[in-house]
Amino acid sequence: MTFLHTFKTSLVGLKTHRMRSTLTILGVVIGIASIIAVVSIGSGAQELILGQIQGLGSKTIAVIPGREPSGPSDFAQIFSNSLTERDLDALKRKENVPTASRIMPVVFGSETASFGNETFRPTIFGGSDLLAQIFDLYPERGLFFTDDDVRARAEVVVIGSKVKEELFGESDAIGERIKIKGKNYRVIGILSAKGQVSFFNFDEMAMMPYTTAQQYIFGIKYFHRFIIEAQSDGVIGRTVRDIEATLRENHGITDPEKDDFFVQAQSDIASRLGTITDVLTLFLVAIAAISLAVGGIGIMNIMLVSVTERTREIGLRKALGATRRDILAQFLTEAIILTGVGGVIGILGGASISLAASIALSAFLSLGWTFSFPMSAALIGFAVSCGVGLVFGLYPARKAAGLNPIDALRYE
């Protein structure tokens, strides 16, 4: 019997019991749809997270005070005063870190800002004039503060779009003064809506010279971060080593285990988070694959019932000359058709779920979530679904093929 004839015979057998066939493939549909949705949403989440991390650029290095946390109890050590003006001067010297192209000290915190009767609590971000270049920030209106403003501890501020909306509404904010901790700061620039870049939401920020923020807002003489840009991707490792060596010498540290700072390159963070999201996605896929196994058991169960119900049909076909191989091929083909159709429906269903989720997340949470269709996962999912039909359909098919034609014809 040819494959085409076997295929047509299998289709006739499945069409005879359409409702049973539909319910049989349901487990496969759910399993494949779950896998496709998880992989697709996981891929979108990974792109979003890595996009945020890479917002500073792959050449950017952050120096953070305190010992690097190895667990939840260590995070309090981050809020340390170990980065000082002396460290900044040492890192700026070319003989110490020759591959660094620029360095910016950073202080930040949250304070209430007011204008008239309106109040808002933005993140106060103190930096240098390099802030605009490193974060690609260009005011929609007005100007950014300059290096002269940093040296003069100028009482000026550049505000994000959300801060402007909350404090000024539709009125013009340029030249107006907002009050923070009892002191007035002149608004010299307004950023266009930019959203989240790396770990910072610039729409909700008030940016000013770090010297101004240190003296008038936070009352500190140390820094919360150093942001350093390497000359190229190829020298990041050397730059990190030079930074560590310079700070250890400055702090009198001989044992790296006793560092009171840690250095993070954006490329390293992206790599670590990529690994984490991959592991989480695989874990969720493994859970979703359980429903595939359940679907496969369901198919085996239904096929066994089908063999019992069609015992006389099998006996008649054998009496008319069908071989054991023909019967085996027919029932295996039926099982593979069921799971193959289930796989296709599951792929389309999973892609639809993922697309709807990406649209909802982008619309309601204002996230730059992109839909990603995992073609490789779809092909693997289809192959696996057909494999499930082959594996779980083999026993019922062998049982059907092994029936004695005389006993089968007498079966009631």
CA 409 centroid distance within chain = 60
pLDDT at 43 over 90: no
| Angstrom distance (rounded) from CA 229 to CA 375 | 37
Q: State which amino acid sits at residue 280.
A: L
Which residue, 265, 285, 305, sits at the end of a domain? 265
Q: Which two tokens stand for residue 320?
A: 């008319």
Given pLDDT bands bounded at 50, 70 and 90, which one contains residue 188? Answer: very high
Co-location of 193 and 311 in the same domain? no
- Cα(251)–Cα(63) distance, integer angstroms: 14
Predicted local distance difference test score (pLDDT) of residue 102? 87
Q: Is the backbone of residue 193 left (phi > 0), alpha (psi -120 to 50) or beta?
A: beta
| Residue at which a domain ends, from 249, 265, 281 | 265
Residue 301 vs residue 14, higher pLDDT: 301
Contacts of 330 (CB under 8 A, 6+ apart): 6, 9, 10, 13, 397, 400
pLDDT at 407 > cutoff 80: no
Best CA proximity match to 345, nearest among 377, 381, 306:
381
- Taking all residues of the chain, what is their mean pLDDT, rounded to a whole number? 80
The pLDDT value given to residue 198: 58
- Residue with the bigger pLDDT between 381 and 160: it is 160
Q: Place 156 in a pLDDT band, splitting at 50, 70 and 90.
A: very high
- Please state, in angstroms and rounded to a whole number, the distance separating the CA atoms of residues 324 and 314: 10
Please, what is the Cα angle at 346 between 340 and 350, to 5 degrees?
Answer: 150
Which percentage of the chain shows pLDDT scores above 90? 29
* Residue 269: strand, helix, or coil: helix
| pLDDT tens digits along 106-121 | 999 999 999 989 999 9
Task: Please tell me whether residues 247 and 131 are part of one structural domain.
Answer: yes
Residues 47 and 123 both lie in one domain: no
The pLDDT of residue 273 is 59
Question: Tokens standing for 179?
Answer: 């009050």
The sign one gets for the Cα dihedral 59, 45, 359, 203 is negative
Both 213 and 84 in one domain: the answer is: yes
| 235 and 328 belong to one structural domain | no
How many separate domains does the chain show? 2
Question: pLDDT at residue 56 above 90?
Answer: no
pTM for this predicted structure: 0.57
DSSP code of residue 173: -
Cα–Cα distance measured from residue 192 to residue 163, given in angstroms and rounded to the nearest whole number: 11
Q: How far is CA 208 from CA 104, 108, 133, in A?
A: 13, 10, 15
pLDDT at 275: 67
Instruction: Give the model's pLDDT for residue 75.
Output: 45
In this prediction, residues 122-131 reach a mean pLDDT of 90
Task: Give tens-digit pLDDT for 190-230.
Answer: 998 876 665 678 889 999 999 999 999 999 999 999 988 88
pLDDT in tens, 324-368: 787 777 778 877 888 888 888 888 888 888 888 888 877 766 566
pLDDT band for 88, please (50, 70, 90 cuts).
Answer: very high
**pLDDT for the residue numbered 69:** 63
Its domain, for residue 289, covers 3-53+271-410
pLDDT grade for 15, boundaries at 50, 70 and 90 = low
- Structure tokens, 39: 């992989």
Among 265, 291, 316, identify where a domain stops: 265
Amino acid at 164: K
Q: Are residues 125 and 163 in the same domain?
A: yes
Model pLDDT for residues 63-84, shown as the tens digit of each residue: 999 877 665 444 445 557 889 9
Q: Are residues 245 and 114 in the same domain?
A: yes
| Res 409 pLDDT > 70 | no
Q: Is the pLDDT of residue 285 over 60?
A: yes
User: Rounded to an integer, what is the distance from CA 300 to the centroid of its chain?
Assistant: 38
d(CA 395, CA 399): 6
**pLDDT digits over 376-391, tens only?**
778 877 887 788 777 7
224: which 2 tokens? Answer: 């919360």
What pLDDT score does 14 carry?
Answer: 62
Q: Are 40 and 176 members of one domain? A: no
193 and 329 in a single domain? The answer is no
Average pLDDT of the segment spanning 126-144: 86
34 with 68, same domain: the answer is: no
Do 335 and 295 meet the contact criterion of CB atoms below 8 Å apart? no
- The verdict on 21 and 71 lying in the same domain is no
pLDDT digits (tens, 9 = 90+) for 223-282: 999 988 888 877 888 998 999 999 999 999 988 888 889 888 766 655 665 666 677 777
Q: Do 66 and 47 fall within a single domain?
A: no
